[in-house]
Amino acid sequence: MNRWFYSLVLLLLIVSTGCGAQSLKGDHVCFDRDCFAVEVVSRMPERTRGLQHRESLSPQSGMLFVFERSWPYTFWMKDTLIPLDMIWMDYTRKIVHIEHDVPPCKADPCPHYGSRNKALYVLELNAGEARQFDLNIGDVAKFHLDFDQ
């Protein structure tokens, strides 16, 4: 009886921690069981540069922008060469806005994309991945980062 009980407790612990998401190498943002390897940018020069001038982005990877305070941030695609999905998350890591299939900007003036809702984080992924992984407003992310947010 004790062996079964401890096996059940171990199984529940594995399932409740995201099926091993804690053992991921590097920084990741996860929605349920779908995880994305991310570069974390939290300082102004890196946030301003973002994914500019990059010719590709690996599948299930992206960039996580971390801000000091919640605000309805806007982004643009100047000098960004690849189409992206942009996902705004509030302080609880809940998705508050998604822009799907944002195209690169080839000439000024570049359109701005933003959320009317305040956000503390913005996640950029390859265009189409938000739909591919069924990410929706209200979904909550788990961060597996080198530093605690």
Ranges assigned E (strand) in 17-147 = 28-31, 34-41, 61-71, 74-76, 84-89, 95-102, 112-114, 119-126, 142-144
Domain residues for the domain of 105 are: 23-144
Compute the distance between CA of residue 129 and CA of residue 138 in angstroms, rounded to an integer. Answer: 17
In a domain, 52, yes or no: yes
Confidence class for position 29, pLDDT limits 50, 70, 90: very high
Listed in sequence order, the residues at least 6 apart from 113 whose beta carbon sits closer than 8 Å to its beta carbon are: 74, 75, 76, 77, 86, 99, 102
Domain count, the chain: 1
State residue 79's pLDDT score. Answer: 87
Compute the distance between CA of residue 51 and CA of residue 92 in angstroms, rounded to an integer. Answer: 25
Q: Kindly give the pairing relationship between strand 119-126 and strand 61-71.
A: antiparallel
Compute the distance between CA of residue 121 and CA of residue 113 in angstroms, rounded to an integer. Answer: 14
In a domain, 125, yes or no: yes
CATH number, residue 58: 2.60.120.1140
Least confident of 14-18, 45-49, 131-135, 140-144: 14-18
Confidence class for position 111, pLDDT limits 50, 70, 90: very high
Compute the distance between CA of residue 20 and CA of residue 95 in angstroms, rounded to an integer. Answer: 23
In a domain, 27, yes or no: yes
In a domain, 111, yes or no: yes
Confidence class for position 42, pLDDT limits 50, 70, 90: confident
Look over the chain and give the mean of its residue pLDDT values, rounded to a whole number.
Answer: 83
